[in-house]
Structure 1
Amino acid sequence: MKQMNTDEAIDKTSLVDDRVNDELATSELPFVMTPHNVNYILPVTYNTSPNMAPFENEAADHQFTLDNMEAKFQISFKFPLMYNVFGDNGHLFVAYTNQSYWQVYNKEISSPFRETNHEPEIFMMFSNDGQIGLLRHSFWGIGFAHQSNGKSGDLSRSWNRLYATSIFDSGPFALATKLWWRIPEDEKETPSSPKGDDNPDIIDYMGNLELTGIYGIDEHRFTMMLRNNLSNPNYGAIEATWSYPIIGQLRFYTQYFNGYGESLIDYNTHNQRIGIGVSINDIL
């Protein structure tokens, strides 16, 4: 299997190269699962205004409200199907990300999982060695992603998209860009029909563009994600994180989110959340 970047081209200070080398070293080990996005658990998060709108009917019947405090966690991994599909380039992966929101402190309603989003993907990454200003254009890729919350009726949310991504880096800094196109779905014949588009306006809030910057200082990792619809009315989101190793592979992990689309059930609702917990990896 050819390494994605030749040894001569490896910059020892590059966070991107460090992650590539770590993945290549463990990709064929039978008891090792390669992280895709960050794997974390935030036992304590605070949302300034939980979105009650999807649960109004149920709340009226059972007289409950959502707690501002809840737990949030994410499990994300990928598996390489094939390296060097096109001669000495083109690396094919499948991936899965699960993100869950747990009303663990809400004993009045038996601490339910408020929302769980499932996102399987298949994508191909290409090694690159271009230069744009001070940044190396290290990878680009294309992929398909399906995301849904696995619910039915009025609570069902889902969408499919094709995306293109590029990764740029320079030593301790990296920038990932992601552009997508939503695959159209048929309209519902009636609002209660199980078939058809559950969320036809999701692009208005989720947009078509996402930028993620990563910066490393010693063992500290700082990230910032920006997403926007680039239209009027303007909707977007920002997510900032900081992590630092505390023991072994375990990292102290903090996250702040402000905007639209934190989860599928909240895609059209403005959320502001801060959480603290631990992760077993960071993006880089």
Structure 2
Amino acid sequence: MYLKYLLICFALFSIKANSQIVEEKKNFRAADSLLKEHSFSVHRDNYFLTGMPLNEAVTRNNADVKYQVSFKLRLNSKPLWGGFFPYLMYTQKAFWDIYASSKPFSEINFNPGIAIVRPFYLKGGRLTYGTISLEHESNGRDSIYSRTWNMLAFSLKSQVSPRWTVGIRGWIPLVDKEDNPGLTKYVGYGEASATYQIKPGRWSADILFRKGSGLINYGSLQTQLNWKPYRDENYYVTLQWFVGYTESLIDYQEHKSMIRLGFTIKPENMGIF
């Protein structure tokens, strides 16, 4: 009799233990997508592009080089309460007038931040990252050339199919209106992005749309066509077109249309936002 009850208890314990293991694997499966990256990794695209304007005559003073360095650091190898992973982030974007006589840098924008990221699966097994971040962006200058703002941002990015990755991001802008009159109209309150794998492992296309607060004015659109010459390497030849406002902070009120060509290093996975 006691042996019977012992066997029943053992069976129930085994079922409970197995179900707990399955549940833990299910819970941490999405987290593995972050953990398989190195703790120090590429955040946004890192690129070096050169190009010219499409909406005005090309001169040595308006053709330029634009490059971006962006990385992130995961601070913990285990999720915090709620399944969130903490990150430090840094992005620096520079505009270099390399064709002008003295080759000056016309603008450098600095964008440090902190974030917590929650990986999970939507219905159908679609890997998704939910992110809350606090960020600062400025050009590091003073007086009338100072451009600076902060944001509290919320984003969702999801791999909706083997070829499509889409994202949406909104923020609460915190702007010094004295130094940056009307900046909120141009940076807006959110953006949407999408990446399509035209030929997986070789060709892809990106689009980033930022809506300004104006009804039809302001905002920006950036599109990229990327070609990977070698499947085993993580760099691409990129053709990028930008049209709109706030490509750089110093000229946020100027409408620009620039086409550029160069090299890009992308995040190994879909990136947190």
TM-score range, shorter chain: 0.7 to 0.9
Work out whether 1:208 is the aligned partner of 2:189. yes
Work out whether 1:176 is the aligned partner of 2:167. yes
Work out whether 1:150 is the aligned partner of 2:140. yes
> For the structure 1 residues 202 and 20, does the alpha-carbon distance in structure 2 shift closer, same or farther, using more than 3 Å as the test?
farther
Aligned partner of 1:267 in structure 2 is: 252
Residue correspondences, number = 238
What amino acid sits opposite 1:85 in the alignment?
A: L
- Structure 1: runs of 5+ lacking an equivalent: 11-16, 51-64, 188-196
CA distance in 2, matches of 1:258, 1:76: 22
What amino acid sits opposite 2:38 in the alignment?
A: S
Aligned partner of 2:12 in structure 1 is: none
Superposition TM-score, scaled by structure 2 size: 0.79
| Cα shift at 1:70 | 0.7
Give aligned-pair identity as a percent.
26
| Cα shift at 1:179 | 0.3
Aligned partner of 2:109 in structure 1 is: 117
Superposition TM-score, scaled by structure 1 size: 0.76
Task: Tell me if the contact between 2:44 and 2:71 (Cα under 8 Å) persists in the aligned partners.
Answer: yes
Aligned partner of 1:160 in structure 2 is: 150
CA distance in 2, matches of 1:151, 1:20: 41
> For the structure 1 residues 233 and 224, does the alpha-carbon distance in structure 2 shift closer, same or farther, using more than 3 Å as the test?
closer
| Cα shift at 1:270 | 0.4
CA distance in 1, matches of 2:189, 2:84: 24
Runs of 4+ in structure 1 over 4 Å off: 5-10
Work out whether 1:27 is the aligned partner of 2:38. yes
**Which of 71, 94, 97 matches 1:100?**
94
1:133-172 CA-to-partner distances (Å, cap 9, x unmatched) read x893612111111000011221110101101001122221
> For the structure 1 residues 6 and 206, does the alpha-carbon distance in structure 2 shift closer, same or farther, using more than 3 Å as the test?
farther
**Which of 80, 84, 89 matches 1:85?**
80
Q: Which structure: larger Rg?
A: 2
Task: Tell me if the contact between 1:70 and 1:101 (Cα under 8 Å) persists in the aligned partners.
Answer: yes
> For the structure 1 residues 77 and 106, does the alpha-carbon distance in structure 2 shift closer, same or farther, using more than 3 Å as the test?
same
What amino acid sits opposite 2:210 in the alignment?
A: R
Matched position secondary structure for 1:183: strand
Matched position secondary structure for 2:121: strand
Work out whether 1:249 is the aligned partner of 2:244. no
Matched position secondary structure for 1:93: strand
Aligned partner of 2:220 in structure 1 is: 237
